Amino acid sequence: EKDKGFLSRPEIAAVINVLKAVDNPLLDIPLAGAMLSEMFLFTPDELAEIRAESRKLPLYSSVKSAAENVNEKAKNFISVLDSLRKAAAYERSDTVIEKLYDITSFPQVMRSCDGGELKLANLRLLIKYAADREKNGAHGLSSFVRFIGRLEERNADLKPAGSSGDGGNCVRIMS
C-alpha cells in the first residue's frame, strides 16, 4: 500500500468522494462511492435497493426518498451531507474536512485498521493540503474539489504520508 498514490489510497478516495458529493450531490459516482465507504457502510445490496425505487432520478433523489421513508442509514447519510453542505457554504475546505472527520469518526476507524497509523497520517495530510490551498488564495470546498479533479484528469497526484523525506515523526535505528 505504500506504493499507491495519495489520491488512490482507500481512506483518501473515500473522503474525496464525500467532498465531491457535498460539492455536488447530483454526481452519482462520488455519492455511491461515499455511501459504500467505511464511513457510511452501505452494502451494494442496500445501495441497489435504494436505487431501484426511482431509477430515472439521480441517486441523490433516491437516497433522500429512502431517508424520508424511514431508512435510518439513508437518513443519517443525508443528515451528514446536509450538515457538510451548510458548512461548505461559509467554511474553509480544511474546516469542512475536519468537520467530516468529527461527525463520522473516520480517522479513528482508519486508525484501527491494518496500517492505521499511515492511514491516519494521510487523512491529516489531506487537511494540510486543503489548508495550504486556502493559504494560497484558493478558497472554499468547491475550489479544493476542482483542484483534486484537475489532478485526476492529468493523472497527477499528491505526495502521501510516509514517503521518503516527508519529515514525519519517526526514529531511525541504523546499525
Residues 25, 99: Cα–Cα separation, whole Å: 18
- Taking only the tens place, the pLDDT of each residue in 112-148 is 988 889 999 999 999 999 999 999 988 999 999 999 9
- Taking only the tens place, the pLDDT of each residue in 4-58 is 789 999 999 999 999 999 999 999 999 999 999 999 999 999 999 999 987 888 9
pLDDT band at residue 73 using 50, 70 and 90 as cut-offs: very high
Torsion of CA 98, 100, 104, 107, to 10 degrees: -40
Beta carbons within 8 Å of 46's beta carbon, 6+ residues apart: 73
Q: What is the pTM of this model?
A: 0.88
Within 13 Å and on the Cβ side, how many CA atoms surround 68?
7
DSSP H/E element including 133 = helix 116-135
Asked if 85 contacts 141 with a C-beta cutoff of 8 angstroms, the reply is no
- φ and ψ at residue 20, rounded to 5 degrees: -65, -40
Asked if 36 contacts 47 with a C-beta cutoff of 8 angstroms, the reply is yes
